[in-house]
Structure 1
Amino acid sequence: MMAAVVATFRRQTLAGEMLLLQLAIVVVVLAAVAAVSLAQSEATFNRVEGRRVAALAEQLAANPLVRSQLTRPLPREALAPLVNSMQTQSSVTSVTVADADGRIVSSTNPTVTGDPLPLGEGATEGRGWSGSLRLDDSRELVAQVPVLGATQENLGQHLGTVMIGEADPTVWQRLSGASSYLLAYLGIASGLGVAGSWLLSRRVKRQTLGLEPREIAGLAEHREAMLYGIAEGVIALDPQHRLTLVNEMGRRLLDLPEDCVGLSLAELGIEGRLRDVLAGDREGTAGRRDEVVVRHGRVLVMNRMTVTKDGRPLGSVTTLRDRTELARLEREIGSFRSSTELLRAQAHEFANQLHTISGLIQIGEQEEVVRYIRALNQRRQSLDVSLSRRVRDTAVAALLMAKASLAAERKVRLRISDDTALDRLTPEDAADVATVVGNLVDNAVDAAAAGETDEGEPWVEVDLRQDASSVEIVVRDSGPGVAPELAREVFSHGFTTKAAQEGERGIGLALTRLVCERHGGEISVTNTPDGAMFTARMTVSHLADAVAEGAPR
């Protein structure tokens, strides 16, 4: 039977279980209230009625007729009217008179005449007693008072006992007597309890979207498996920008403490561009996808989605992907792309030069051919000598040579500052310096090609300087400069100069900043009367130190 009840309970819906549990609680509370009311009613009855029957018994015991008749042989006939009158006037259940031997001589119940008078527990002959006794298959609250002689012959002598009893009320009578409104109160409380239980069950059902406990448990298990089984970071915020959920990958990518859930972005020290993307505060960041943010040396791509229900904002969920390795690969691919572009530009340049020479030969201008070839040779030697004399690192020099050809193809003149001086670097430092120089020159060429200059020909100038422990890279251009509102965040956005103007997104400058920070340096941008000027500083190792440690040349 119990197993069937448990099985039926388990088959109930969550709302049904809540309703049954609430109803059970209401029933228990009502039973407790009823029990307390019964106990109070019984205590009141024993106190009030006990005093009343005791007073009536003392009054009857002091009656001269009772005292005189108990000394005679047959007192029943004389005492019967008095006993019945006492019962009628006082509305008690029973009135009994016994002689000194404890035999009942008169009673409102004639069938007990001649029977021994029942004494209460602890009652003694000649002393008063009150309490509960079972009489004639019913329990009564009785008071027993001794009848003592008052004449000179029997003064103080125990002549008999008077017992007056009041029947205990039933449970229903006690509940009715506890309070005239108790039953009404219990009924109202029952109705309110049932209605409240039903409303609570409906509310729980709405809040759980009609899901049952096993379904909620399944969703929780699936959520844990999804959050901690994917390779992307997941961060959830409430409308007050407090973290409500973060998986292990998200915590690792943002370097958050283990107890970060429940803390706000400000308490976690998340500021700047990262905070704008997570909170969606800045205009244009809420609906854009694949936002690039640099955080503690990592290039992160973030996608934010606002969560609403019935038009009410519940917060946001942001996913994070680590693109640091991908950015490194893009940098390496970029170097190959630069080489390819260099070969293409040189092939195009050589083709144009050959076409010019061929045309001069065809029209018979042999001397002009000689002068043209000498001019080309002098320009090439001038650039080669300038680079080889000022830039001794072959990787950086080759990069600048390639960028010069690409710039020339776009009608932009790339020049090397007279103050440029760069010694040979370790291969690792040379690769990073080349990355910074390449990205800055590419952005400068794009800006110069798109801008206008009073000198007629757009230009880009590169200035490389090296001291005992660092390299400073300064790239100037004749372009329109960087908008003031983007000057502080252009590196955080991951925009190139061209992207900042046209609204496209890239990670060129973000990579540049990442490389500089990894070398303990920094990068900044300012506007000059001619255009923009990017300044990057990086800490590098001396080639002699690297050779001493066994590094390859």
Structure 2
Amino acid sequence: MKKAMKLQTKLTLLIITVVFVSISIIISFVASWITENIESKARTNIMNTAEMIAHSKEVIDALNMKDPNRSINSYVNLQLKNLEQVEYITVADSEGIRYSHPNPEMIGKKFVGGDESRVVQMGETYISEATGTLGKSLRAFTPIYDEVNKKEIGFVSVGTLTHSIEIAKHKAILYIIFIGLGGLLVGIIGAIILANNVKNTLLGLEPEEITKLYNEKMGIIGAIHEGLVAVDLKGRITLINDSALKILHYENTVNKELIIGRNIEDVIPNTRMINVLETGEAEFEEEQRINNTIIMTNRIPIKNRGKIVGAIASFRDKTEVTRLAEELTGVKKMAWSLRAQNHEFMNKLHTIAGLIQLEEYEEALQFISDVAKIRSNISNILTENIKDVSLSALLLAKYNKAEECRVKLKIDVNSKLNKLPDYMTSEEIVSVIGNLIENSLDEVKNDGTGLIYLKIIQDEKFLNIEVKDNGSGIPLEYREKIYEQGFSTKEGQRGHGMYIVKKIIDDFNGMISFDANEGIQWDITIPMKMEEEKA
């Protein structure tokens, strides 16, 4: 696959090309204008010189007397020294006999070139191009008149070699080219500087990478369950996700596009994001009430090269966080179970008190003995075989709750748990077993026939958990959905229990399966050792 050209290279080449084309066009126009100007200036110069010589009193007087002292040549040579771009000045009489010439040997000889006829015959003033004794030249002709008789007595020819004009043109063009090359060099340096500046501004990223990052950013923002709001330095909202609208109860009342650009105070009253912009200090886990919703907020300033350019806040519904935490750790269920345990003991105390009042002392003693024996059995299993204190407490609470609900919770006497799998916490094992037992308590009957069986076996390789009940089981149409978050067959539930159980087991490379033909039986296997990479 052909490698794409980098943005820096593209910008550099584009700017250089634009500069080169622009300079080339300018050079072509300027060169044409200057060459024309050089020739026009030469024409004007030789014509002005010819007019000056033709009206010179010294030349007219000397020409009338046939210049016996050759004063015309001396005068012309003197003038020639002070003139630029004039190669020669020739003064001739009406018959074309020269009285001045750069080559003294040509004085007295006939004028050559063939282009003097117009000035001799018709007295015209003009410029022509012809080849003379000095070579091809541009020549200006002007007649010389006797001021007294008003008669043409000769003419002046002032010329400059076309070769000299071409040299001047070439020098001018070369000078323009050098200036153009200098401009091109400056353009190249500027292109490199600009391309580097653009590259630094874009943090060295290519357009494809920027597009990819943008798409990834939008995907991440859409996937985040927390609310996100970003503002610029003036406190105007530049980003807000759907979760933020939902938490703030704006999802059905305000269009997200209409919120972008508004001041943060107008959308989220009493926010401290303006304070973060002013102080530049982040704020974490701050509690705030908005629209009758308590949220937990993190606010962080956005900096570019040490300068604050905005701020971003992430927040979540505190009630949702609390509920999920309770669901995960089993605190809510454990608290309920402890209340049930207290209620159950009060019932037993009332029973004993009633037997004593009826003077059924033997029955009272037997009742106390039975209760103590049952308590002793369950306590021995939990204290001697289950070494995790949190799990023991949970099972005792569930046992008491089951009794309160007239459900028998049987914990296998061979159950054993000396240590948890690698990296697994007490909260996680409590969440797994607590959710399974709680589901069974909801399914079995509360008429004394309900039965829940629990067995926990741990060896060197695996932790095996078995939970089964004699409830109604799981309908076929629901069996594929039981691990989906939010799915529940019970009213008032949010369906997080089995989702959390499955997630914890998956995190530890475990397996969970169930048989729902007669009641339901859960079988869980979790490796005691976790692979290094997974850990």
TM-score, scaled to structure 2: 0.45
TM-score, scaled to structure 1: 0.43
